[in-house]
Structure 1
Amino acid sequence: MSVTGGHVAVFAFPFGTHAAPLLTLVQRLAAAAPNLRFSFFCSTQSNQKAFSRVKHEGFDNIKPYNVADGVPEGHVFSGHPLEAMEFFLNAMPKNFKSRLEDVVEETGLKVSCLLTDAFLWFSGDMAEEMGVPWVAFWTAGPCSISIHIYTDVIRNTIQSTAGKAENADQTLNFLPGMAPIHVNDLPEGVLYGNLDSPFSRMLHNMGLTVEQATTVEEIDPVITDDLKSKMKKVLNHHHPSYSDENGCISWLDKCETASVAYLSFGTILTPPPPELLSLAEALEEKGVPFIWSFRDNSKQHVLEGFLERTRNLGKVVPWAPQLQVLQHPSVGVFITHCGWNSVWESIAGGVPMICRPFFGDQKLNRRMVEDVWKIGVGVEGGIFTKCGTVTALDLVLLNEKGKKMRENTGGIKANAVKAVGTNGSSTENFETLLEVVTTSKKT
């Protein structure tokens, strides 16, 4: 495909697993379109982290720019995990708009396309004002973006049929393309929680505006078909990354097939100490080999005795190459918070899951994993207990149901592999995406 020059402004969301996959996509686009300039806007801290893990060779057409994080000078954080996020949300969209204006003035390059995290709903209006395409990058699954698009429908329907949204077990079976889910599977801010918080308002605004965009993501064809009926384009794209500085793969090479538990709970939250102890006790009692990606230094002391007793059984690392770990034949189960990236990489590895969701779309993902796709199980009662975790480990690693979960995961994986093949939908969609970002006129 022949491409022309242009200036793509990339707006990233600096929290969770958002900026890194967007940067990976930008790298692939930059390699395919070397005459295209990509300006990557995010917070200083997020840019430093994202760009420290990428190789710059061959990517002279990507440049990071820092935007204000909204934190008052001299502010002392309380330790709440969402505090920094709320400061950033309150600074939007002014921080992105003003920084973009500065960069356009400095470089003399007018923007030809906006490629942004879908969370940043205001990008649609900015693209409209500039007369350029808006591509929204969705880092979660199609189920959750569908929920946000239908937020007003959910609120109106539940209120009119039930009167109270507190009925956690009420089934939502009226959403197009969506398998039946329960009220308590919904992300906070849709029907319960603080609906006026900055994060809830952001998600609601996104659901109201994202139909204007070309949107990148998909896995479930039924839901995707419904999304395609509402949006200009829905494009599927997946991409791996790899670095094994902690020797996870060489350690796994010494283990038996499908015997190891891999544990990771994302970048934002860690289970509370009582749950960590219960999880550790279950692993120790069952003698399950494990790799644990443990990033929360403030809680690692909870596991000191466990780590000493199991030093020959398991391996704890501050970071692991998750996709490559999950693709290793020695891994038999993934104990996860059920974030979308983790779900997708577990499917890519053909590994069934034990799910302990915390917030956001994680409970919805758990419902799909356990009840719809049947490729994993939620922990009993929604929290880790020793007894419940032992039961889940037995089910996945030793029970016939666990074997069936692995087969089901393999079936979904086969479809994904086909999608990223030479003539697959993901490959074709990347070509379409490349065409969109290299077209200076709005489509």
Structure 2
Amino acid sequence: MPFLQSYLPKPVSFFLSLRIRLPIPAPPKMLKTPHVAVFAFPFGSHAAPLLSLVRKLAGSAPGIHFSFFSTAESNASLAPIVAADKTTLENVRLYDISDGVPEGYVFQGRPQEAIEVFLNATPGNFREGLERVAKEKEITCILSDSFLWFAGFMAEEKGVPWVSLWTAGACSLSPHFYTEHIRRTIGTAPDLIPAKQDEPLDFIPGLSQLRVRDLPEGIVFGKLDSPFSLLLHRMGEQAPRATAVAFNTVDGLERNVLDDLNTKFHKCLPVGPLALAAPLPSEPDPHGCIAWLDRQNTASTAYISFGSIMSPPPAELAALAEGLEASGAPFILSMRERMLTHLPIGFVERTKERGLVVTWAPQTRVLGHVAVGAFITHCGWNSVIESIMCGVPMISRPILGDQRLNARMISHVWEIGVGVEGGVLTKEGVVGVLDLVLSKEEGRKMREKFGGIKEVVISAFSKEGTSTKNIATLVEIISGNEKM
């Protein structure tokens, strides 16, 4: 595939065995007006955090111009944010690139199909966009989503710095860097994995409380040779090339992992949570969720959302509804319209006195309401951070990717939530975890844990906080003022 054939691979074991840093590209001779090309991964919740970082950098350094490249569909969802932000309107421009979908193409409904079609067009679509804007103003830095590892080679060709943004937690990037080491230690034969799935990852610095079963697909189980798995493997190999790797996390949340990666990368810069760095405009509330919550008791209500990409299987959604009905707890259930058909017949009508079922909810506002005492979540990183900021205990039902790692961090590292029994939603299991988390005693204990964690997060954006300092360092890098 084009995105794999563009450059010859270098095994990650090379980086692990040498334990040295790769040479940093020489800083360019900067122009009077720095111009940063920004490459977004246009799926899931990737483009929005990258735009948040750009908005923060653009506001901190209004003399720097940013050209933001993503697909038309992705940019259309981001354009209102740029338009509403008067501080970045002048020096941030969105540019559309090809999504790779041929004319007349009919999607077959395969998982990750849209991503695979997009990857077929990379890196050519980004290169075309880069050359287009470079004709008007020379590129002086490339800032990309970490998934788009080829940005490092483009930056090297132009002799400019490459800054990579990992939009999630450090604990989920580390396994991709250590993929070859993990495979040598555990093996990848399908018959080996079940016996080893509960073994700790204590041979990876900072991950001793996580297990083999918590790893993302594509490392030792799942389709190791799928286009997306190959993309993530290549990403882990190329991360050390970056002038700096920024993380949408806080140093104090994942210090051990960051300390280790800082010995492997040129610079590790936790700059998150980006939702605090560059807050989004207030979310609308078309279904009246906040007014409904105003009528509920403090910490009495469960909020349920599994994000916008995937959700548990239909049978589990039905079991979830049965559990919500049997629990007697007030709830807001946010679910895409096509998934509502999997709810039991009559469920919405039978629970309308204490339940609200919507197709979209203003999540940060819902989690920030005093009535919400539990969050049943897929454990996407953005949802985890929002829950931490609002102090709401989580009930984890991870689905894919980094979500299992995040869920384990929630339950066994930070101790601010629990998982569903057996990792599957059942009627009895839902009743049990809601009783546990919404109970006065257990709920109080979990909420007390949030105190120190929230302090760590908030202090990161104090005048001398780590995220504040790291954002300042990023400004120096992209403006060409940092001494290498």
TM-score range, shorter chain: over 0.9
CA distance, structure 2, for counterparts of residue 53 and residue 122 of structure 1 = 27
- Asked whether 1:208 is paired with 2:248, we answer no
User: Which residue type is aligned with residue 285 of structure 2?
Assistant: E
- Asked whether 1:94 is paired with 2:129, we answer no
Q: Paired residue for 2:115?
A: 85
Shift of 1:161: 12
CA distance, structure 1, for counterparts of residue 181 and residue 443 of structure 2 = 37
CA distance, structure 1, for counterparts of residue 61 and residue 198 of structure 2 = 49
- Asked whether 1:230 is paired with 2:268, we answer no
Q: Which residue of the other structure, out of 415, 432, 439, is the alignment partner of 1:374?
A: 415
Q: Paired residue for 2:103?
A: 73
- Asked whether 1:324 is paired with 2:365, we answer yes
Cα–Cα, structure 1 residues 159 and 272, in superposed 2: closer, same or farther, change >3 Å? closer
Q: Paired residue for 1:14?
A: 42
Shift of 1:283: 1.4
User: Which residue type is aligned with residue 94 of structure 2?
Assistant: P
Q: Which residue of the other structure, out of 399, 403, 417, is the alignment partner of 2:444?
A: 403
CA distance, structure 1, for counterparts of residue 259 and residue 32 of structure 2 = 31
State the SS of the aligned residue for 1:73.
coil
Unaligned runs of 5+ in 2: 1-30
CA distance, structure 2, for counterparts of residue 141 and residue 65 of structure 1 = 28
State the SS of the aligned residue for 1:120.
coil
- Report if aligned partners of 1:375, 1:406 keep a CA contact under 8 Å in 2: yes
Shift of 1:88: 0.8
- Asked whether 1:23 is paired with 2:51, we answer yes
- Report if aligned partners of 1:81, 1:268 keep a CA contact under 8 Å in 2: no
State the SS of the aligned residue for 1:315.
strand
- Report if aligned partners of 1:169, 1:182 keep a CA contact under 8 Å in 2: yes
User: Which residue type is aligned with residue 54 of structure 2?
Assistant: V
- Asked whether 1:37 is paired with 2:33, we answer no
Runs of 4+ displaced beyond 4 Å = 160-163, 440-443
CA RMSD after TM alignment: 2.1
What TM-score do the two structures reach when normalised by structure 2? 0.86
- Report if aligned partners of 1:81, 1:269 keep a CA contact under 8 Å in 2: no
- Report if aligned partners of 1:132, 1:442 keep a CA contact under 8 Å in 2: no
Q: Which residue of the other structure, out of 154, 166, 181, is the alignment partner of 2:210?
A: 181
- Report if aligned partners of 2:190, 2:221 keep a CA contact under 8 Å in 1: no
State the SS of the aligned residue for 2:187.
helix
- Report if aligned partners of 2:188, 2:220 keep a CA contact under 8 Å in 1: no
Identity %, equivalent residues: 52
- Report if aligned partners of 1:6, 1:440 keep a CA contact under 8 Å in 2: no
- Report if aligned partners of 2:283, 2:365 keep a CA contact under 8 Å in 1: no
- Asked whether 1:364 is paired with 2:405, we answer yes
CA distance, structure 1, for counterparts of residue 46 and residue 462 of structure 2 = 25
Q: Paired residue for 1:309?
A: 350
State the SS of the aligned residue for 2:148.
coil
Cα–Cα, structure 1 residues 80 and 12, in superposed 2: closer, same or farther, change >3 Å? same
Shift of 1:442: 9.1
Q: Which residue of the other structure, out of 123, 126, 140, is the alignment partner of 2:168?
A: 140
CA distance, structure 2, for counterparts of residue 184 and residue 321 of structure 1 = 32
CA distance, structure 1, for counterparts of residue 104 and residue 54 of structure 2 = 34
Shift of 1:251: 2.8
- What whole-Å deviation, never above 9, does each CA across 1:356-400 have from its counterpart, x for those lacking one? 011101111111111222111111121111001111111111163
- Asked whether 1:262 is paired with 2:303, we answer yes
Cα–Cα, structure 1 residues 75 and 323, in superposed 2: closer, same or farther, change >3 Å? same
- Report if aligned partners of 2:72, 2:96 keep a CA contact under 8 Å in 1: yes
CA distance, structure 2, for counterparts of residue 381 and residue 143 of structure 1 = 23
Cα–Cα, structure 1 residues 44 and 161, in superposed 2: closer, same or farther, change >3 Å? closer
- Asked whether 1:349 is paired with 2:424, we answer no
CA distance, structure 2, for counterparts of residue 420 and residue 287 of structure 1 = 40
State the SS of the aligned residue for 1:172.
coil
User: Which residue type is aligned with residue 114 of structure 1?
Assistant: I
User: Which residue type is aligned with residue 38 of structure 1?
Assistant: F
Cα–Cα, structure 1 residues 327 and 422, in superposed 2: closer, same or farther, change >3 Å? farther
- Report if aligned partners of 2:188, 2:221 keep a CA contact under 8 Å in 1: no
73-82 vs 386-395, which moves further? 73-82
State the SS of the aligned residue for 1:335.
strand
Shift of 1:162: 11
- Report if aligned partners of 1:133, 1:441 keep a CA contact under 8 Å in 2: no
How many equivalent pairs are there? 438
Shift of 1:160: 10
- Asked whether 1:221 is paired with 2:273, we answer no
- What whole-Å deviation, never above 9, does each CA across 1:171-223 have from its counterpart, x for those lacking one? 22110122232221110011111111111011111111112221222331111
Q: Paired residue for 1:112?
A: 140
- Asked whether 1:194 is paired with 2:228, we answer no
- Report if aligned partners of 2:324, 2:431 keep a CA contact under 8 Å in 1: yes
- Report if aligned partners of 1:11, 1:117 keep a CA contact under 8 Å in 2: yes
Shift of 1:273: 2.0
Shift of 1:152: 0.8
CA distance, structure 1, for counterparts of residue 467 and residue 329 of structure 2 = 36
CA distance, structure 1, for counterparts of residue 331 and residue 312 of structure 2 = 17
State the SS of the aligned residue for 1:181.
coil
- Asked whether 1:425 is paired with 2:425, we answer no
Shift of 1:440: 7.1
User: Which residue type is aligned with residue 60 of structure 1?
Assistant: E
- Report if aligned partners of 2:187, 2:220 keep a CA contact under 8 Å in 1: no
